[in-house]
Amino acid sequence: MDTIIEPFRIKVVEPIRMSTRDEREACIREAQFNLFHLHADDVLIDLLTDSGTGAMSGEQWAGIMRGDESYAGSPSYDRFRDQMRAMTGFDGILPTHQGRASERILFELLGGDGLVVPNNAHFDTTRANVEHSGARAVDLRIPEAADPTDRHPFKGNMDVAALERLIDEVGADRIPVVMCTVTNNSGGGQPVSLANLRAIREVCDRHGLRFFLDACRFAENAWFIKPREPGQSERSVREIVREMFDLADGATISAKKDGIVHIGGVLLLRDPELLHRASDALILTEGYVTYGGLAGRDLEAMAQGFEEVLHEDYLAYRIRSIAYLGERLLGHGVPILEPPGGHAIYIDAAAFCPRIPAEKFPGQALAVGLYRLAGIRACEIGSVMFGGEGHAAPPMELVRLAIPRRVYTQSHIDYVVEACAELHATRSELRGLRIVEAPQVLRHFSARFVED
Ligand code: F0G
């Protein structure tokens, strides 16, 4: 059989409140055209993020009941640690409440004024944490990543020659860590090849540099490697995942993605001295080393989620369902970032609304239009998220349709396709926006807009 089915049945359902276009018009105005300000009850299909929005399995909920809430030495921590150790090979395993807590601790230890942190593509919180420490965050995408229609199989790869040039230019002593984000969220959820990770490792070894993964979506990355990278098709996802982690000195992980939990994060470290300092920092603000800002039950859910995400029938369904959305949108002439990524489809808003210039936020205009038309909440990843004073213009204007794990069925996705196709047919009616109020840092969360 060729049809790839959802490899689960639905045991519990959460009703969606239907809304009218007039109701949504009032809601988006009330939210001052910022979709983060909408009430979730006023959203029909929520594609704002795939983070913390997945459906947990019966086994994960059973883990919630099993959770042991001892302050220290909880057996729930042991289960979490054993799962992480078996999967990654790391011994230094710290739980945190989410990915950015791992980032905050890492850059508190490694960041600082005058330092430079290269990454294939920093996500917003990673960039903000690097910059908060005083360091400079540099994105080193391969040139193919700048072309939305280029179908490079590993479009998330880092430009390794550019990394070498950066090291020559600023000096290895000013680079506390080289990071690589798998899959690269802000560049389209595109995978990074093992060959690229090995090449980064080799450069880091030659210059005595640390190499860390931002491994939020490591399993989706590994699933892309299996069919696309020469010599990998016979290996299991587990083996590929293990090699990815073996190449790194550490990793920050948000378990809200490939851990399929509602809250949780991990900081992996090989260097005992760094682990010691990170443990102290963890205790100071997150919690003791065996719970790190989480409840014991959350550790149980994470241990089980990190096991389930490696199941190949799950990954086949997951990646195929994202590709289905992407291919159907392309079929309707909707411009997307190609090829479809791991956790989301990114609409190319610059191509979708060519008459709205970057300073009037075409991505935001598109996201607002999609909500008005169909109650779908998407996320701008463009000049709102990455622009502003002191920031270079982002390479692309994108609107991300992030797909929560195991939550929406094919008919939900068909509805999204129909809505995007209709919006595209009427795109000349979309209006640009102006920011009337925004903070300096991470402004997309709270900026307020008016229509131009
Ligand atoms: N790194 C990447 C690549 C991410 O995508 C995220 C979160 C983080 C780090 C931070 O993790 O949210 O647990 O603190 N991305 C979410 C998203 C928010 O919508 O893509 P966190």
Distance 57 CA to ligand 1 centre (A): 22
Confidence of residue 49 (pLDDT cuts 50, 70, 90): very high
CA of 156 to the centre of ligand 1 (A): 16
With vertex at residue 253, the alpha carbon angle to CA 139 and CA 150, rounded to the nearest 5 degrees, is 40
Among the atoms of ligand 1, which is closest to the Cα of residue 101? 14
- Residue with CA nearest ligand 1 atom 15: 51
CA of 141 from ligand 1 middle (Å) equals 19
| Minimum CA distance residue for ligand 1 atom 4 | 123
Residue 392 has what pLDDT? 74
Indicate the angle between helix axes 21-30 and 362-374, nearest 10 degrees: 140
Query: So what's the pLDDT on residue 390?
Result: 73
Asked whether the beta carbons of 93 and 275 are under 8 A apart, the reply is no
Model confidence pLDDT, tens digit, residues 363-401: 999 999 999 999 999 999 999 988 877 777 788 899 999
Cα 276 to Cα 280: distance, rounded to the nearest angstrom: 6
Name the token pair of 386: 């990455």
What DSSP element (H or E) covers 345? strand 344-348
pLDDT of residue 157 exceeding 80? yes
Could you report the per-residue pLDDT of 172-224, keeping only the tens digit for each? 999 999 999 999 998 899 999 999 999 999 999 999 999 999 999 999 999 99
Average pLDDT across the chain, whole number: 96
Burial of residue 383 (number of CB atoms within 10 Å: 0-12, 13-18, 19+): buried
Token look-up 């970057």 returns 358
* Section 262-282 average pLDDT: 98
Ligand 1 near 408 CB (within 6 A): no
Does residue 185 have its Cβ closer than 6 Å to ligand 1?
yes
444 falls in which pLDDT band (50, 70, 90)? confident
Taking the C-alpha atoms of residue 308 and residue 306, their distance in angstroms, rounded to an integer, is 6
pLDDT at 2 over 90: no
**In the structure, what pLDDT confidence band is assigned to residue 265 with cuts at 50, 70 and 90?**
very high
pLDDT class for 232, splitting at 50, 70, 90?
Answer: very high
Instruction: Give the CATH fold of the 21-50+312-451 domain.
Output: Aspartate Aminotransferase, domain 1 (3.90.1150)
Ligand 1 neighbourhood includes 129 CB (under 6 angstroms): no
Beta strand pairing status for 45-46 and 376-377? parallel
Q: What is the pTM of this model?
A: 0.96
Instruction: Express each pLDDT in 124-154 by its tens digit.
Output: 899 999 999 999 999 999 999 999 999 999 9
Is the Cβ atom of 265 under 6 angstroms away from ligand 1? yes
Question: What is the CATH T-level fold of the domain 59-308, as seen in this structure?
Answer: Aspartate Aminotransferase; domain 2 (3.40.640)
Alpha-carbon span 426 to 417, nearest angstrom: 14
Q: How far is the CA of 51 from the centre of ligand 1 (A)?
A: 7
The predicted structure's pLDDT at residue 76: 97
Domain segments of the chain: what residues? Answer: 21-50+312-451, 59-308
Residue nearest to atom 1 of ligand 1 (CA): 123
**pLDDT band with cut points at 50, 70 and 90 for residue 437:** confident
Give the span between the Cα atoms of 25 and 22, in whole angstroms. 5
